[in-house]
């Protein structure tokens, strides 16, 4: 078994072979995000004396402005390590379903799920509130300072090919919405989208950001504190003229968002959930996102000698796949908004005893294509499982609700699973650390009137029927269970690792393997970010048609043929890809030398800067 590990590791990297990207070394700070321009915005703020929260907010504003597969009307999910309190804080800035967004409303319109695109897929904007809350509570700079790079970009920046070509591909859909057409379709002729490198101007967005800065300035001029000034700008967005235009224009285009929905929206500062894996405390946002899936998986994998199996051996891959089957089946049934009843059984789901009971279900000879959610209520104090009756037929309800389920081609399913966004990693010498996976409002986005704000499409992650997931049925004011999942880890009470990845339902799959690459297989942060992963499609997609394909697995094209052969014997439908790591961004903390090591995978255009 030892030689299996050595061969496969050398097969991926080669002895002494350099990674495709270098490690980002920093003594004072590290800033990483999905595009070079975004990372430059973070570096600019660090150079001006800002802390990691200030820099993260600047990167968030910049990536939203450049449509790095998200925009200003999306959602922000963050973990912040506060070196003063030695605590990890969760930032819940996910938007909520608007007034009138009931399951019955969508069912009467003939939908199996809320639509994938358009005004009826919109939840309230969360990112502006998340950014301003983070900055007010944990930053040091003004809103004007951290928004300056984004505002300069809104005045015109050379748009990157990914966004420009995405606009061109989606131009027919964009043309349905008048404000989107005005912003995105700026050219006449065969190509209506901006050309790569063309200056992309968003005057309405600039004006909206300028209104926030003006409100902040007024409060500061009258003697108000930095925090009060930022929150006054937040109120203008959610309760003032900006909110009125968002509500008016959304309803004009057929959406549901009201001024009351915006006025009542609030960002939550939360205590994240955690598990301990072999002496390392791993933190995730709780079950309003899929983050606890990784924690459940770690609890189960802790029971095995993974190193002895060998990195990406068929035994190791089979173990990962089956453990993820169990964890994601629980996600698909039990996860939802913790601020709405029924109460999710998170204590049971994260119980070590529950993990030990679940791994007894694993078939070591073949893939279990019919795995179901477990019953975590047996492993926590409180009432019995009120939805046990649904588990008997769970999985069958898809056929009842949608007779066409399962007839989707794999390319479409893979596209759903890998829906991208961006990630943000920032850390500084004072000990502040920020890990963010923001998203929403991606192209094709509905622009909210003259605000320049692209609305989130996250309502599609709700379900409409209780027997599919009783905790995630859409209703007004409720947050959908999202895929977005930043992570932080502490070892011996000190920061060990900050990491995140984009990619929809593949996020916690890739983060799980990245973490194991470092902890079990002794890779450095850049090797682990680039290493070959496997991806499962045996959980329900959180987007579009919410489909899945049991047994489907994507592996790296350099996987040895005997490994692929053995996986096929176990019932897997194996697909190979040139890149399988996902665009992982991470920072590892080297306490021996007092430095930070940044990693950014070669999967996408992610980019980091350190000093």
pLDDT digits (tens, 9 = 90+) for 257-311: 999 999 999 999 999 999 999 999 999 999 999 999 999 999 999 999 999 999 9
Contact present, 579 and 396 (Cβ < 8 Å): no
Determine what percent of the chain is predicted with pLDDT higher than 70. 94
Contact present, 108 and 268 (Cβ < 8 Å): no
Q: Report the alpha-carbon distance of residue 466 to residue 190 in Å, rounded.
A: 46
| pLDDT band of 406, cuts 50, 70, 90 | very low
- Length of the chain equals 611
Q: Across the chain, how many H-helices and E-strands are there?
A: 24, 19
pLDDT for 409 equals: 65
pLDDT for 413 equals: 74
pLDDT for 421 equals: 85
Strands 552-556 and 573-577: parallel
Which residues are registered as beta bridge partners of 427? 30, 433
Average confidence (pLDDT) over 426-434: 98
3-state helix, strand, coil in the chain (%, to 5): 40, 15, 45
Of 580, 589, 115, which Cα lies nearest the Cα of 312? 580
pLDDT for 398 equals: 61
Of 296, 308, 358, which Cα lies nearest the Cα of 511? 296
| pLDDT band of 2, cuts 50, 70, 90 | very low
pLDDT for 551 equals: 97
pLDDT surpasses 90 at 123: yes
381: CB partners within 8 A, 6+ apart: 347
Contact present, 472 and 463 (Cβ < 8 Å): yes
pLDDT for 404 equals: 45
pLDDT for 7 equals: 33
Q: What are φ and ψ of residue 219, in 5° steps? A: -70, -40
pLDDT surpasses 80 at 442: yes
pLDDT tens by residue, 40-71: 999 999 999 999 999 999 999 999 999 999 99
Q: How far is CA 47 from the centre of its chain?
A: 28
Contact present, 33 and 425 (Cβ < 8 Å): yes
What is the helix (H) or strand (E) element at residue 499, kind and residue range? Answer: strand 494-501
CA distances from 592 to 30, 312, 588, 596 (A): 18, 30, 12, 11
DSSP 274: E
415: CB partners within 8 A, 6+ apart: none
| pLDDT band of 14, cuts 50, 70, 90 | very low
CA distances from 413 to 347, 482, 529, 538 (A): 32, 17, 24, 11
- Residue 16 exposed, middle or buried by CB count within 10 Å (0-12, 13-18, 19+): exposed
Q: How far apart are the first and last CA of the chain?
A: 41
pLDDT for 411 equals: 72
Which SS3 state, helix, strand or coil, does residue 385 take? coil
pLDDT for 8 equals: 41
267: CB partners within 8 A, 6+ apart: 91, 92, 93, 126, 129, 130, 133
- Residue 476 exposed, middle or buried by CB count within 10 Å (0-12, 13-18, 19+): middle
- Show the tokens assigned to 538: 């045996």
Average confidence (pLDDT) over 595-609: 96
pLDDT for 5 equals: 36
pLDDT for 18 equals: 83
- Show the tokens assigned to 5: 């590990």
Average confidence (pLDDT) over 383-408: 74
pLDDT surpasses 90 at 447: yes
| pLDDT band of 546, cuts 50, 70, 90 | very high
Which SS3 state, helix, strand or coil, does residue 583 take? coil
15: CB partners within 8 A, 6+ apart: none
pLDDT surpasses 80 at 514: yes
Among 63-77, 170-184, 281-295, 383-397, the least confident range: 383-397
pLDDT surpasses 90 at 10: no
pLDDT surpasses 70 at 408: no
Q: Report the alpha-carbon distance of residue 10 to residue 560 in Å, rounded.
A: 12
The Cβ of residue 392 has, within 10 Å, a number of other Cβ atoms equal to 8
pLDDT for 414 equals: 76
Average confidence (pLDDT) over 378-393: 96
Strands 487-491 and 494-501: antiparallel
Average confidence (pLDDT) over 197-217: 98
Q: Report the alpha-carbon distance of residue 602 to residue 274 in Å, rounded.
A: 29
- Residue 116 exposed, middle or buried by CB count within 10 Å (0-12, 13-18, 19+): middle
DSSP 65: H
Average confidence (pLDDT) over 334-345: 98
Long-range pairs of 258-266 with CB within 8 A, sequence gap ≥ 24 = 258/98, 258/99, 260/99, 261/96, 261/98, 261/99, 261/124, 261/476, 261/477, 262/124, 262/125, 262/238, 263/238, 263/239, 264/477, 265/95, 265/96, 265/124, 265/126, 265/129, 265/238, 266/129
């Amino acid at each position: 078994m030892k030689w299996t590990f050595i061969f496969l590791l050398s097969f991926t990297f080669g002895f002494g072979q350099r990674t495709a990207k270098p490690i980002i070394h920093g003594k004072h700070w590290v800033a990483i995000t999905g595009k070079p321009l975004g990372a430059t915005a973070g570096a600019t703020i660090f150079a001006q004396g800002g802390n990691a929260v200030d820099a993260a907010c600047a990167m968030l504003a910049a990536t939203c402005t450049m449509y790095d597969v998200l925009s200003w009307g999306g959602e922000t999910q963050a973990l912040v390590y506060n070196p003063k309190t030695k605590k990890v804080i969760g930032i819940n800035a996910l938007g909520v379903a608007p007034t009138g967004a009931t399951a019955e409303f969508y069912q009467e319109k003939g939908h199996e799920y809320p639509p994938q695109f358009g005004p009826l897929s919109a939840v309230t904007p969360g990112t502006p509130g998340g950014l301003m809350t983070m900055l007010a509570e944990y930053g040091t700079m003004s809103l004007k300072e951290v928004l300056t790079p984004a505002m300069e970009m809104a005045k015109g920046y050379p748009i990157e090919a990914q966004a420009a070509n995405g606009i061109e591909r989606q131009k027919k859909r964009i043309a349905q919405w008048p404000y989107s057409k005005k912003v995105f379709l700026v050219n006449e002729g065969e190509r209506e989208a901006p050309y790569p490198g063309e200056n992309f101007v968003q005057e309405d967005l600039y004006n909206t950001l300028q209104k926030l800065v003006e409100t902040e300035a007024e409060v500061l001029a009258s003697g108000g504190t930095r925090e009060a000034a930022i929150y006054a700008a937040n109120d203008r967005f959610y309760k003032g003229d900006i909110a009125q235009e968002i509500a008016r224009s959304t309803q004009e285009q057929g959406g549901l968002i009201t001024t009351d929905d915006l006025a009542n929206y609030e960002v939550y500062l939360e205590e994240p959930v955690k598990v301990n894996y072999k002496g390392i405390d791993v933190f995730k946002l709780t079950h309003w996102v899929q983050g606890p899936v990784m924690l459940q998986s770690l609890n189960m994998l802790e029971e095995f000698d993974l190193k002895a199996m060998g990195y990406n051996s068929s035994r190791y891959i089979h173990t990962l796949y089956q453990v993820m089957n169990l964890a994601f089946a629980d996600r698909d049934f039990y996860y939802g908004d913790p601020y709405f009843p029924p109460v999710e059984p998170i204590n049971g789901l994260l119980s070590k005893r529950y993990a030990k009971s679940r791994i007894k279900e694993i078939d070591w000879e073949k893939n279990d294509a019919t795995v179901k959610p477990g019953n975590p209520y047996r492993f926590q104090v409180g009432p019995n499982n009120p939805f046990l009756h649904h588990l008997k037929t769970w999985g069958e309800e898809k056929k009842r609700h949608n007779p066409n389920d399962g007839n989707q081609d794999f390319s479409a399913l893979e596209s759903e699973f890998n829906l991208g966004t961006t990630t943000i990693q920032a850390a500084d010498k004072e000990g502040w650390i920020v890990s963010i996976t923001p998203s929403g409002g991606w192209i094709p986005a509905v622009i909210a009137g003259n605000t320049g704000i692209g609305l989130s499409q996250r309502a599609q992650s709700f379900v409409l029927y209780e027997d599919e997931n009783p905790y995630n049925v859409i209703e007004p004011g409720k947050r959908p269970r999202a895929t977005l999942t930043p992570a932080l880890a502490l070892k011996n009470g000190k920061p060990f690792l900050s990491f995140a990845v984009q990619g929809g339902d593949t996020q916690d799959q890739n983060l799980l393997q990245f973490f194991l690459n470092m902890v079990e297989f002794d890779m450095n942060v850049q090797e682990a970010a680039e290493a070959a992963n496997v991806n499962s499609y045996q959980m329900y997609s959180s987007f579009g048609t919410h489909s899945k394909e049991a047994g489907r697995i994507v592996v790296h094209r350099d996987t040895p043929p005997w490994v692929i052969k053995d996986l096929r014997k176990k019932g897997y439908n194996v697909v190979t890809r040139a890149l399988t790591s996902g665009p992982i961004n991470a920072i590892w903390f080297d306490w021996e030398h007092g430095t930070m090591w940044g990693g950014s995978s070669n999967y996408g255009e992610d980019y980091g800067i350190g000093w």
